[in-house]
Copies of this chain bind each other. A is one copy, B any other.
Amino acid sequence: MERIEHRACFDGWQDVYRHESASLNCSMNFSVFLPALASRKKLPVLYWLSGLTCTEQNFTTKAGAQQYASRHGVIIVAPDTSPRGQQVADDMGYDLGKGAGFYVNATQKPWAAHYRMYDYVVTELPELIESEFPASEARSISGHSMGGHGAIVVALRNPGRYRSVSAFSPIVAPAQVPWGKKAFEAYLGPDRTAWRQYDACDLVRSAAEKLPLLVDQGAADEFLETQLKPHLLKASCEAVGHPLTLRLYPGFDHSYYFITTFIGNHIAFHAKALHG
């Protein structure tokens, strides 16, 4: 593991590390914000999963999360969104291949050799963080768009592993929308039963743990009707009594200007669960 960026930010350090990932079989970057308090004691960790086309940089440079992480004593870890490198399969589209890992373990050629973002996020990355940084085993997870999908799926499938989960503008029903169908067809193959383990609307119906979902969505989001469809998650949650807070904000779109406006609320929400 090599530290490739190290920058003072608020009372802590905004760092970027590169390491060899066994799950993904390639070199990967992740960013980590360490509040000052981390020099004296272990702190809980909020994992942030980014959306299509992003790297570890987008959330780190644009969300303005560090001030809240510093205030609440929470480490934030933001991985890249796919395996990387010349040997890694890719696609011409922005919504498949590099920058579009969809947080699944691919089973189909040519993707299966590297595209195992589910294992990376659930197992490998937390093991690395908890062994190499002053991180406790208290974990929460959040994300945006494709990363909001990833956060909810990862939390629902791993009862007890996360203290809280939230999402901005998540793809809640990937098996039913163009982005998700394209990615799942490629990564998981045509058999739609394999898709269900990565579809939040499906998973919530059989969730072993009723971890409350916090979802914020811009009402002027250009992808709201075609790709995001939060009403489908609402219907699934209502059908089984899964707790959901779904907030719709007039005027806000799909950009980081939406995230930066409300990330303080999300970090306060996670900090309460993490320190509670």
Contacts and interface: CB of A to CB of B under 8 A. Distances in A.
B220 A260 contact: no
B66 A260 contact: yes
Contacts of A48: none
A182 interface: no
B253 A7 contact: yes
Interface string A58-74: 00011010110000000
A14 B61 contact: no
Interface string A244-276: 000001011101111011000000000000000
A8 B256 contact: no
A257 B62 CA distance: 10
A218 interface: yes
A218 B6 CA distance: 14
A220 B258 CA distance: 32
Nearest to A13: B251
Contacts of A251: 8
A70 B252 CA distance: 16
A55 B123 CA distance: 40
A94 interface: no
Given A14-B257, A257-B14, A8 B62 contact: no
Given A14-B257, A257-B14, A8 B218 contact: yes
A86 B172 CA distance: 44
Given A8-B253, A253-B8, A260 B64 contact: yes
Contacts of A62: 61-62
A10 interface: yes
A261 B218 contact: no
Contact of A9 (B9, B14, B66, B260): B260
Given A7-B252, A8-B220, 6 more contacts: A8-B257, A8-B258, A9-B257, A10-B261, A64-B67, A66-B257
22 contacts: A7-B252, A7-B253, A7-B255, A7-B257, A8-B218, A8-B220, A8-B249, A8-B253, A8-B257, A9-B257, A9-B258, A9-B261, A10-B261, A61-B61, A61-B256, A64-B64, A64-B67, A66-B257, A66-B260, A66-B261, A67-B260, A67-B261
